[in-house]
A and B are shown apart, each in its own frame.
Chain A
Amino acid sequence: MSAAPDYIEPIVGWRSWLVVREGEDFRLRSVLYDALWLPRKELIARCLHRGLTFRWRKRYEHAPPEPDCRCGIYAASEPEEAASYLDGRGWADALSVHRVIGTVSLWGRVVECKRGWRASHAYPKTIYVPSTRAPLWLGAEWAEEVALALTDYNVRVELLDDRFRGPEELVSALDAQAAGR
């Protein structure tokens, strides 16, 4: 018999994603790791850190997330932290056509941290598509196309208009939206 869960509602946090092309489609991808988020399928965490340990050290096998490791699917409790990844530039940007922000449902095994969570299972809950995010060549028409394509995830997708150019403005817009509900 399995133990009773501690909670029966998913935790909801904030995160940013890259949007990448997969054939004819647009898909969400983690900003820092090579993890593709597929429509209608939860992302399940695997520990990528154990491969980084030194060879002579015994590998520490565990089910993610483990409090003593850094594994798991991350989400922040406040949009500010997630929004800081909207403006980043990294090697993965060569693959991406856009960056988006949103809320994510987390469940399974969850490690609660001071400013967010790490979880074993996750799926997007809401996706906000900034209309004028870098890459600089990405115009509003493209953002509309991206937003439309992301409806494949069958969650709420909102296109944010071009008044919200920076992460701070974006966060205040998201806060205002949340307060209005």
Chain B
Amino acid sequence: MEIGEPKRTYTVEPVEDPVPREAPAEPAEEPAAPAPAEEPLEPEKVPAP
């Protein structure tokens, strides 16, 4: 490409990223920890009189 002779040099640091990057994947929701299974209530053993 014919763009002619150099005139000056500078630095450009865009505030906004010019690259539409992939949005970071949202962390997969962790499955809720299963509630501790309740132990079936057993009738309290009462010592025989």
Residues of A within 8 A of B (CB): 3, 5-11, 15, 32, 40-42, 65, 67, 74-77, 81-82, 85, 105-119, 123, 125, 153-155
Q: How large is the interface on B (under 10, 10 to 19, 20 to 34, 35 or more residues)?
A: 20 to 34
Q: Please, which residue of chain A has its CB at the minimum distance from the CB of B3?
A: A116
A-B CB proximity, top 10 nearest: A114-B4, A116-B3, A5-B13, A6-B10, A105-B18, A154-B20, A107-B12, A67-B6, A113-B3, A74-B1
Contact of B9 among A40, A67, A125, A154 (CB under 8 A): A67
Inter-chain contact B11/A113, CB cutoff 8 Å: no
Hey, which chain A residues are within 8 Å of B13, CB to CB? 5, 7-8, 107-108
Per DSSP, chain B at the interface is loop
Q: Are A123 and B19 in contact (CB under 8 A)?
A: yes
Contact B11 A6 (CB under 8 A): yes
Question: By the criterion CB–CB under 8 Å, are B3 and A74 in contact?
Answer: yes
Distance of A114 Cα from B4 Cα, bound (Å) = 5
